[in-house]
């Protein structure tokens, strides 16, 4: 059986339309309205916190300590809570100006013996607005974070922190 060029074009056009229309709708992560949660207890284990060592939830953001090494758990929890508070405050300001967009970022960093973060490896949601939000509300505050100093020759320290943020959920008018 042979097909004419016209048959192949019609078939190809139909295939393109079928493939384009059968694509999945883009999933949209939404941060639900929540009350401040000051973290998930590390002692309860990673299973309770989605695999994170520590989680801090705020109404407009969620931060998770993905991993840490050489850092005391209490220090790590204080750092994550401080970053969550900073991100929440910044997100509120951006939201009131209409500049907050949904986004996510991950920072993996070494912590120097002097207590400053360095050697950052960054991943940020695509888009200029999400990148701007990340730089202003997450990355800059992280760079300003300080950790306790360690003695010379101590084991290397580091951590990875993931953050997700977004505007408040828009609700329609309430029914009487």
The domain of 66 spans 42-165
pLDDT at residue 18 greater than cutoff 80: no
Is residue 37 situated within a structural domain?
Answer: no
How much is the pLDDT for 113?
Answer: 94
Q: Does residue 24 sit within a domain?
A: no
pTM of the model: 0.69
CB of 80 closer than 8 Å to CB of 112 = no
- Edge-to-edge strand order for the sheet containing 61-69? 54-58, 61-69, 157-165, 103-111, 117-124
- How many structural domains comprise the chain? 1
Rounded CA-CA distance 108/114 in Å is 18
Spatial contact of 119 and 157, defined as CB atoms under 8 Å apart:
no
With respect to residue 6, please indicate whether it lies within any of the assigned structural domains.
no
* 23 is a domain residue: no
Instruction: Please report whether residue 35 resides in a domain.
Output: no
pLDDT, tens digit (0-9, with 9 covering 90-100), for 107-150: 999 999 999 999 999 999 999 999 999 999 999 999 999 999 99
């Amino acid at each position: 059986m042979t097909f004419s060029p016209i048959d192949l074009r019609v078939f190809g056009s139909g295939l393109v339309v079928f493939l384009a229309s059968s694509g999945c709708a883009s999933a949209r992560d939404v941060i639900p309205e929540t009350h401040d949660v000051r973290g998930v207890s590390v002692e309860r284990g990673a299973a309770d916190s989605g695999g994170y060592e520590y989680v801090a939830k705020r109404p407009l953001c969620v931060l998770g300590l993905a991993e840490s090494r050489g850092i005391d758990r209490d220090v790590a929890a204080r750092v994550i809570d401080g970053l969550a508070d900073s991100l929440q405050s910044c997100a509120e300001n951006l939201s009131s100006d209409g500049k907050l967009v949904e986004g996510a970022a991950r920072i993996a960093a070494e912590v120097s013996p002097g207590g400053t973060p360095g050697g950052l490896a960054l991943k940020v949601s695509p888009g200029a607005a999400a990148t701007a939000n990340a730089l202003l509300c997450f990355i800059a505050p992280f760079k300003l974070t300080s950790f306790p100093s360690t003695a010379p020759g101590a084991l290397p320290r580091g951590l990875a922190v993931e953050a997700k943020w977004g505007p408040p959920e828009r609700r329609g008018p309430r029914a009487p």
